[in-house]
Each structure stands twice: as structure tokens, then as C-alpha cells.
Chains A and B, each alone.
Chain A
Amino acid sequence: MSTERSRYIAIVSWIIILLLCVWVILTRMQVTTQITQFMPSAKTGMDRILLDQLKQGSVSRLLLMSVSGPSVALTAQFSKTWAQSLRDSGLFVRVNNGQRMQDKQADALLFKYRYLLSDQVTESRFGQASLHEIFQQRLRQLASPLATFDKQRFGQDPTNEMGNVLMSYRGQSPPNSQHGVWFSTDGQAAMVVAETRAEGFDLDRQEQILAVVNDLFSRQNVSGEYALRMSGPGKIAVDTRNIIKSDVTLLSTVAGVAVAVILLLAYRSFRLVLLNALPLITAIVVALACVTLVFGGIHGITMAFGITIIGVAIDYSIHLFSHLEHGSDAQEDIKRIWPTMRLGVLTTCSGYLAMLATGFVGLTQLVVFAVAGLLAAAACTRWVLPKLLGKQQGVVTNDILPHQLTVLLHPHRVIPWLIGFMVVGSVVYLLSGDKDIWEHDLAALSPVPRENIALDRQLRSEMNSGDFSNLLLVTAKSREAVLQKTEAMQEALVALTEAGAIGGFDMASRYLPSKKIQLARQQAMPDKGVLAARLDAALQGLPFRPGLFDKFLQEIDAVRALPLLTFDDLGNTLTALRVGSLLMQQDDRWVALIPLHHVRDRQQIPGWIGRQKFGDTVFLNIKDASDRLVDRFRMEALQRTDWALLFILGVLWFGLRSFRQVLVAVMPVVIAIIVDVALLAIFEVKLSLFNLVALLLVFGIGIDYGLFFSRREKNYQHRKRTLHALLVCATSTIAVFGILSTSAVPVLQDIGLTVTLGVLLSFGFSMAIAQPGDQSVPE
């Protein structure tokens, strides 16, 4: 009666917990796919700027498009009509294909503020002599055949300040242009840049936009002669999500079928195959709920990666099933293997917990996910599964384990030598030469398929978009202060450019001068009456039509009362985007970025900064710095690995209380990991943080193998059951991760390979090394 009751209680409380978790998932869980949220959280200001730069590249809502067609002229025409249809779609804030009319809004703003923006504006510029000189020059220019194109604003802007403003604005190399539209640097494809109204991270909207863009394109591309390529943060994110989605769906289906077949072959019972899924389902549901409760949401990568990690949960039920004895109650069978299983779960969990303190949001989520999932799966196997199984037709060992396989319990004595040879070989291989087994590139942590990254780089370079790889970072207390600071550096930077040390530079104050400078220019403007007199004198003897400069006079007067140009005035113009990317606020500081183009010798820049005595100015090479950042995050993770190992050994010691047993359980997996790393190095897989986590997974699985192989069993039959369980575990794990290694997502692919190799090696080594000692005597 009481067993019936406890059985009832266990199952009901399990169901209640599951329902609660499902409720949490349905009501509170938000899946984020933004890679930025998976990235390490940066501690120093410099790292944050760096990560912002890396994350955004430019702006998250940009869509880069390239259209190639049968001829340059036709492609240009296509670009014009196509850009117009994109504009008409209303999905974009702006669509720029290089056609002049695009900048009209910005042009009007620049024209209005030209006297505050032009660096030519000084008091003497509007003196009589200077004006006379300018008029004479302009008169001569009217003889030019090109005057047709640049005399429209002469009466309004005789000193051509607009020309000066545009010159400094276009100082950056603009994209190549043919027939009035932008072309790639090789002149083959028309380039279009669009900024979506939707946020770059709003993947559903981005996906709709991409569909509309494709549709508009194919409608115009009736002949089929044109080809469209697209990239941009939104496009990449959508593609990645779709690839992960379809990949995970496909691979998990294939893996699920494979595991079901393996289990069916092993146990010849549909019921067991179905029951086997319960701990896994429990694990996933509980893990999702826990991560949701702790973090308020879950990252897509955590979910995909986490589910592969806790896929190991099926091992627990496999151990139980293989130990089900004919006629005995499953509740008794589980008690027999529980101590070993418990120790395995606890060591694995303690390994993950040691990773908790890395400043890596994604990794922290992953740890919580894995630990919660594994504990839930083990609990389900211990307290729920046996109650569902009850007393039943057990598994007959002789039936399920082919006799030939028992030979695995008695490895040939030459095998340890072979293993020794492999380990020594691996160590020698890893230590020899100047091998770099680590992945330094931050991009490798991204789940984005390599082809997308390559296309993005190509389109960006074809767009000739700014080079942000070398930066000066200037900090100050306010926007105004930092603008003034960069303005003070301008002269030295021009000198540096003229000396050929750099090819050029860009700075926010070029587009938005500090208030100080704007005010100085404003004060340089003459009074209307004074200017009118000077004009009259300057125009003496020149054939300009009377009244031509009335508007000039009025506008100069208006400028004197014009409120200074602020960042907000720039609104939604290209200039605002550019200034925004060169100037940013960080807590209570303002940081200006000065990209240096074509730096001849990076080593010399810091010395130059020192000589110029620029305070609060740092030189940053993005590639070097991001490499350092990745290395630091990895070092952090590696240090945790030391802790993880200590934790694991501690837990094992506590559970086994025997030096020999701990050694026998741990040694196989340790050397398996060494050989695994050596093999990965041979396959030229660079180790990233994800590989480290995958190795941790291998460690957990391997420890299980070591523990179960070295288990002291009551009799030989039990040893055979254990061997059976381990064979089923290893086969199914290798099947799952082998399938994962065929994924199109680089991260999943690397994990798949790492774990497949690791599990194969751990199984072999545990089998050979983890002997229970003199305990087991063959029957």
C-alpha cells in the first residue's frame, strides 16, 4: 500500500513540476537570437567600444545589396528602377544607390549651416580684398565648359562654402560610381545600401523585408539576366536562424531516429524506447524553465547547444534499462546502480558549475541549462522511471549482449601499450613545433556560416565602406569637450597624413564642429551693412548682374542669429549615422573614434601620441585587440577548467574514497581528451570556447564510462549488464554527435567532431584501463 502511495506521489509531483515548468516557459520565456547577448560582457570601456565595433560593423539596420547584370549600362538602369521600387515599398528609412537625389534632405541641412561647417570661414574671408579676389576667380570659372554644372548657387553662396563643406564630407573615399549609380570596386555590380525601418534584431520583420526585397527583385528581373546578392546584420541573423532551425530540426530528427533504432535493437521493446525519452524531455523542460527564471529569457545558441549537451541524459535511463532484471522490481534495480550514476551526475555538474564565474553571458546560461537539465534527468531516472516501469519482464543479459562482445571485458594486454603509445604520440605532437591550437578570432564564436561572413566582407569592401581597423580613441567628459579635443588634434593628424605615415583619417568634428568652433565662425560673420558696403566695393568693375547677391547678404545676416548645429539637428541623415559611429557616450564619458586609414607602421602610432602629448588618447588595432580579448576570455575559461578539474576530483574522492579508484575513473578520460585535442589539431580545428565546453561534455561522459567500467559488481552477469549499458550509451552518443558534426553551423560542426572523437576515445580507454581490480571473477 505504502509503495503504491509513494509511487503515486512521485508520479504526480513529477507531472506537477513539469506543468509548472511548461507554464514558466509559455508565459515568461523569450528567445533572443542577438549574438551580442551571447558575447562576453566587457568590463573595461575599451573592450566595450571594441565589442560595439565588432558587433555592429556599421549599423545594425543596414542591408547591403549588389546587382550584377549583362552590361554596366543596363545594370545601372536596373539599379535605378529597382532602388525606386524599394523606396516605394515603405520598408526602408532610405535606399541609397548613389543617385544624387538621395542626399537632398541632407544637402538642404548642410547648405543652411554651411557657414558654421566650412573650415574656410574666417573674418578675413568676407573682407573686401578677399571678396574681390573670389569674384574675379568665379568670373574666370564661368568660361569653363564645366560651369554649367556648378553655377546654380553662385548668387547665394559666392564664396562656395557649400563646396568646401562637401569636400570635407566626401573626404572619405566614396563608392565607385558609373552612370550615376554606385558600383563595386571592380565595376561589375551595382551597389545599393538600404536602411530598414525595422530593428536589425527584429528577425521576424527582417525576414519579411527580405522576402519583399526578393520578390521585388524577381519581378523586375523578368529576363533572369540579373543576380542579386545581399548581406547585412539583419540578413545574416535571419539566414543563421533559418540554417540553425532547419539544421537542428533535420539533425535532431535524424539523431532521434538513429537513437530509437539503436535502443530498439538493444532492448527489443517499444515501451522502453518511449520511456527512455522521459528523462530527456524532463531535462529539457526543467532546463528551459530554470534559465528563463534566472535570466528572464534564453539565447538561441544556449538552447541549441544546451539541448545537445543534455542529450546525454538518455544515458541514465539506458543504465537503468540494461540493469532491469527479470522479475525484480525496477525500484530495486535502480538502487543498485544509483551510487555510481549519482557520482557521475555530480562530477559532471560540478565541472560545469566551475565555469559559472566566467563573464560570458552565453556560457553562464549554458551552465545553468546543463546543470538543471542533468539533475532533472537523473532525478527522473531515479524516482520516476522505476515507478513507471514497476515489476516487469526484465532484460535478459545473454539475450541482449552477444557473446562475442563480452571479450571487451577482458582487453588484450597489448592494448594498454597501444594506448600509452597514442598518448605519448599526442603529447609529443602537441608540444612539438610552434603549434597554435587556439582560435583567436572572435568571429569564430559566431554561429554565422562562413560563407555569409565571406560575402559580407566582400560586399563591404566593394562598397569601399570605411576602414575601422585602426582607431584612435579620445575620451572626455562631454560631447563638446571631446569634439574640441579632436579638433585640437586635427593639425597634427594632417601633418601625419602628409608625412605618409597614414593614408588619411576621419573624425566626428569634421561633420559636427564643436560649439566653440561654430561660435567662432558665427562671430566672424560681418554685419549686414558692413558686408553690403564691402560687396559694392568688391564688385567694382566686374560684370555681375545687380541684385545677384541679395540672397547672400540676407543669409549671412541670418547665420549670425542661427542656433548652433547640434547632433539632434542631423536627424536621420547619413551625416547623423556617420557622426553616431564616430562619437559615443559611455556612462559619464564621451568617446570619439578617429579611424586611421592605411597605417604604414602600427608600432609607431603610440609613440607619436606620446610625443604629441595628447591626453586620454589611445591607439587601438581592432584585430590585435579582439584577438587579445578572445585570448583573455579563453584564459579565464581555462583557469576555470583547472577549478573544474579540482572540483571533479574532490567530488570523486568524496564518493569513492580510494586513490586507485579515482585514478582509474579519471585517467581514461584525461588521456582521451589529450588524444582528442591532438586529433583536432591534426584536422586543423582551432579550439574555441565552444570546443572547451564540448571537451567538458566529453569529460562528463568519460567520467561516467570510467566510473561504470570500474564499478565493483556483485557478479559477472552484472558486469555484462554494465557493459551492455555502456555500449548502448556510447553508440547512441557517437551517433548523435556524429550526425551533429555534419551541421552547416560551424559551432555545431566543431562540437560534433570534438565530442564524437572524445567519446570514442573515452569509451575505448575506459574499457581498457578502468578495470574494477581483482573483484570480478568470470563465472
Chain B
Amino acid sequence: MLAWLLVTGGSTTLLAQTPEQVQEQSQEHASAQTQQDLKALMQELSEVKLRNDSFTERKTVALLSEPLEVSGTLYFEAPDHIEKHISTPEKSSYIVHGNALKIQLSGQPERSVVLYQYPGIQAFVESLRATLAGDLKTLKEFYQVQFQAKQGHWKLVLDPLTEEMEEFVRQVVISGEGKQITTIETVENNGDRSVMTLHRVH
């Protein structure tokens, strides 16, 4: 089963199909075991009510001749509060609480937006927030979710379902070990790519 998924290249081929077809196939092929493992993982994730990680992010952007290195901290509080604080290259913060997104950029007044008015950003936020909260239902509202696991390492492959997200993002892959999320990889439609590595702060 896993081999099949890897051979077909995961999302890229599946993307050409309608969500209904995908659903059918995953129902057919995905073993009940995988589904159960996914549910178990989400349950496990949902038990962590507070997270504080530091991160480094490497962004490969077509606009730039060299990758951009970003670092900072990621803070999560169940069920729906998440903060991304960037310290380099320049201080800035993005705080999501419920439906509100607060943006603090250095030297600028704080901006606040309502998430559901920006469905692309909303989908983007949920890829991380719903995963951290172990909220499979919300995750499935925005993404076609594929789950792979091997010896305690797991991987969630998220293919956008909403057109607002599809326009910009090809795929989000979240990997982890047990309850800890280790990397978040985002591939954009224009080929830009970001790999974010997380380390727990003790």
C-alpha cells in the first residue's frame, strides 16, 4: 500500500483527479489499518495542549538567487491559538486566535484581519493549526489527507481542496516523530519551496 502511494508520486498524479475520485480510491486502497493509525496519531497530537518550538526555515524562492533563511519560534495553545514569531531576518509576529489573524511587523502598526475573509490564508493556517490540534475533520475540509508511517516516523501529505489554496500551493507535507512535529515542507505552484524544521524548546 505504502509502496503504491510512493510509486504513484503521491499528490501530483492524484491532483489531476477530482476529490470524489480520490476519495473513492483511497477508500478502496487505503487499508483500514492506515486510517486507524491516522486517527490514533491525531488523537495523540490532540492530547498536547501546549507547544513551544523554535524553528529554522529555508525558503527557496525563484525571485532570489540564493535561499532565504528564516528563524524564530512557534507557539501553540489548544485548541485554536497559534503564534509564529520571526526573529531573523527581521522581527515580526503572526498570531492567530480563533478566526482572527494579527500581524505585527516592525515599525508598522499592528494589522488585524478576519481569517475567513481570506480563504487562501485560512487554508494555510489550518494545515498547521488543525494538525497540531489533532482536528482531522477540519483538516479534511481543506485538504486531501494522505498518511504514511514507518517505525514511529510519520508523514501527512496535504493536497489542497479549495481553489483559493490550489491557486498558490501545490502541497504541504508535515512530518513528525510521535507527538513531535519535525518538519513542515511547503511546495508552491511556481516551484518555490520552504522547509521548516522544528525543535522543541525545553
Contact = CB atoms under 8 A, between A and B. Distances in A.
Contacts of B119: 179-180
A543 B64 contact: yes
A302 B74 CA distance: 72
Interface in B72-114: 84, 86, 89-90, 92, 94, 103
- Report the interface size class on chain B: 20 to 34
A154 B190 CA distance: 13
Interface in A59-85: 73
A317 B121 CA distance: 79
A149 B120 contact: yes
Given A148-B124, A180-B163, A143 B92 contact: yes
Given A154-B63, A176-B117, 13 more contacts: A73-B141, A142-B59, A142-B68, A143-B59, A145-B94, A146-B94, A148-B169, A148-B188, A149-B118, A151-B63, A543-B64, A545-B63, A548-B63
Interface string B114-133: 00111111001000000000
A180 B164 contact: yes
Contact of B63 (A100, A143, A145, A544): A544
Contacts of A140: 89-90
Interface in A261-315: none
Interface string A147-188: 011011011000000000000000000001111100000000
Given A177-B116, A178-B116, A146 B65 contact: no
Contact of A543 (B65, B121, B124): B65
Interface in B149-178: 162-164, 168-169
18 contacts: A100-B164, A140-B90, A142-B59, A143-B68, A144-B86, A146-B94, A146-B121, A148-B168, A148-B169, A149-B121, A154-B63, A155-B63, A178-B116, A179-B116, A179-B162, A545-B62, A546-B65, A548-B63
B195 interface: no
B170 to A, nearest CB: 11
B186 interface: yes
Contacts of A73: 141
Given A140-B89, A143-B89, A545 B65 contact: yes
A146 B63 CA distance: 15
Nearest to A99: B163
Q: Which of A142, A145, A180, A548 has the most CB of B within 10 A?
A: A145
A155 B192 CA distance: 14
Contacts of B186: 148
- Report the interface size class on chain A: 20 to 34
Nearest to A80: B163
Contact of B86 (A143, A149, A180, A544): A143
Contacts of A179: 116, 119, 162
A546 B66 CA distance: 11
B41 interface: no
A194 B61 CA distance: 40
B22 interface: no
Interface string A97-119: 00010000000000000000000
A177 to B, nearest CB: 5
A178 B120 CA distance: 11
Given A144-B92, A145-B84, A178-B116, A152 B190 contact: yes
A178 B86 CA distance: 28
Contacts of A152: 190
Contacts of B90: 140, 143
B70 interface: yes
Q: Which of A73, A148, A152, A155 has the most CB of B within 10 A?
A: A148
Nearest to B167: A100
B120 A545 contact: no
Interface string B40-78: 000000000000000000010111111010100000000
A152 B188 CA distance: 11
A151 B61 contact: yes
Nearest to A180: B119
Interface string A540-573: 0001111010000000000000000000000000
Contacts of A543: 64-66, 68
Q: Which of A73, A149, A176, A179 has the most CB of B within 10 A?
A: A149
Nearest to A77: B162
A512 to B, nearest CB: 27
Contacts of B192: 148, 151
A570 B54 CA distance: 50
B64 A149 contact: no
A144 B121 CA distance: 12
A505 B188 CA distance: 39
A151 B89 CA distance: 18
B64 A142 contact: yes
Contacts of A176: 117
Contacts of A151: 61, 63, 192
A87 to B, nearest CB: 15
Q: Shortest 10 CB-CB distances between A and B: which pairs?
A: A180-B119, A178-B116, A143-B70, A545-B65, A140-B90, A177-B117, A543-B64, A543-B66, A180-B164, A148-B168
A548 B65 CA distance: 10
B124 A180 contact: no
Contacts of B162: 179-180
Contacts of B188: 148
A69 to B, nearest CB: 16
A178 B162 CA distance: 13
B139 to A, nearest CB: 14
Contacts of A143: 59, 68, 70, 86, 89-90, 92
A546 to B, nearest CB: 7
Contacts of B94: 144-146
Contacts of B118: 149
A139 B63 CA distance: 10
Contact of A544 (B64, B117, B120, B141): B64
A148 B162 CA distance: 16
A520 B162 CA distance: 43
B159 to A, nearest CB: 16
B156 to A, nearest CB: 18
A327 to B, nearest CB: 89
Nearest to B122: A179
Contacts of B103: 146
Contacts of B65: 543-546
A544 B168 CA distance: 21
A545 B164 contact: no
A179 to B, nearest CB: 6
Given A144-B92, A148-B186, A545 B116 contact: no
A179 B162 CA distance: 9
A584 to B, nearest CB: 33
A319 to B, nearest CB: 72
Nearest to A158: B63
Contacts of A154: 63
Nearest to A144: B92
Contacts of B92: 143-144
Nearest to B103: A146
A100 B118 CA distance: 11
Contacts of B84: 145
A145 B192 CA distance: 13
A474 B59 CA distance: 53
Nearest to A546: B65
A140 B162 CA distance: 28
Given A152-B190, A180-B162, A546-B65, A145 B89 contact: no
Q: Which of A100, A177, A179, A180 has the most CB of B within 10 A?
A: A180
Interface string A502-540: 000000000000000000000000000000000000000
Given A148-B186, A178-B116, A179-B116, A142 B124 contact: no
A760 B72 CA distance: 87
Contacts of A145: 84, 94, 124
Contacts of B124: 145, 148
Contact of B64 (A177, A180, A545): A545
Contacts of B68: 142-143, 543
A154 B103 CA distance: 21
